[in-house]
Amino acid sequence: MWTVQQVRKGEVPPLTELEFVKATLLLANWASEDADQGIQIFYTLGLRPHGFNRWEQRTPREKISAEELRTNRGEKIFTALKTAQPLVREVLLDLLEKPRTARLRHAGKVTEWISKLEFYGIPKFERNTLRYENVVCGPVAVDLTRPIDYLHDAILPMVGWALAVLLDQNRKVGQYLHQCRLKVGDSRCQNLFLAPPTKEGGRPIRYCSDEHIADARRQQAARRAQRYRDRIASRHK
């Protein structure tokens, strides 16, 4: 397939493992009424490994293909994304709460999902060290004589690779998975996110985004102000 060739020749950067994980977390957090985000998730997971550019860097031709995806196959894609979402969330929540059992419970299923993917190795020289990086090209073990089954032929194999990366104990990515604890009304945000350590010592791991860190600060300030008012009021009783 020419698009795979394009990735191999280095004309289009292949999706990195972290990009796979991030797109999969977007799916886990996806509010299914947001159609644009749904198409973006599908585009990243389903097409990028075949040699399309990053969502923000799409060429006009690729934009047309995303539009075409939405109009012609949108319903089928959304149904598949909605079916995949709870399957993905289940693995991620288990990994957060009980990592040991999560690996035992889900490794078999994830291995089956990724069995449809084609992998190849690209050499990476960093200073004097050579290592080979696994790159995913996309699902290949797909029967082209029948219409594509978006869930089993595309979405589950691709999110499966992200889940494999998270379950893998050598890669250490899974330990940076967290769930947002921001209070929203009577419940919590519950978005899943990665907080890998940075040079500055890492970002706070309680909240999923800068907006939610700011919201949490506002909530804390409001609680402090309320406690202060309560103290004043009780003094004047």
Residue where the block lists tokens 């997971």 = 45
Contact region for Zn ion (CB under 5 A) — 14-22, 55-63, 198-206, 211-219? 211-219
- CB-wise, 12 or 189, nearer to Zn ion? 189
- CB-wise, 49 or 85, nearer to Zn ion? 85
- CB-wise, 152 or 181, nearer to Zn ion? 181
Among 87, 191, 192, 216, binds Zn ion (CB under 5 A): 191
Task: Let me know how many helices (H) and strands (E) the chain has, helices first.
Answer: 7, 6
Contact region for Zn ion (CB under 5 A) — 67-75, 82-90, 98-106, 188-196? 188-196
Token couple for 54: 């990053």
Phi–psi pair at 38, nearest 5 degrees: -60, -50
The binding track of 130-169 with respect to Zn ion, each residue x by CB under 5 A or -, is: ----------------------------------------
Told to check if 24 binds Zn ion by CB under 5 A, we report: no
Tell me how far the alpha carbon of residue 93 is from its chain's centroid: 13
**CA proximity to 165, closest of 149, 176, 150:** 176
Among 189, 198, 202, 214, binds Zn ion (CB under 5 A): 189
Among 50, 70, 106, 212, binds Zn ion (CB under 5 A): 212
Please report how close the Cβ of residue 31 comes to Zn ion at its closest, in angstroms. Answer: 12
Token couple for 27: 């799916």
Q: How many residues touch Zn ion (CB under 5 A)? A: 6
Please report how close the Cβ of residue 195 comes to Zn ion at its closest, in angstroms. Answer: 12
4-35 as b/e: b if 16+ CB within 10 A: beebeeeebebbebebbbebbbbbbbbeeeee
**CA proximity to 81, closest of 120, 38, 22:** 38
- CB-wise, 117 or 177, nearer to Zn ion? 177
**CA proximity to 158, closest of 105, 81, 99:** 81
Among 47, 156, 177, 180, binds Zn ion (CB under 5 A): 180
The DSSP-derived string for 96-109 is HH-HHHHHHHHHHH
Among 182, 214, 223, 227, binds Zn ion (CB under 5 A): 182
| Cα(31)–Cα(46) distance, integer angstroms | 19
Interface with Zn ion by CB under 5 A: which residues?
180, 182, 189, 191, 208, 212
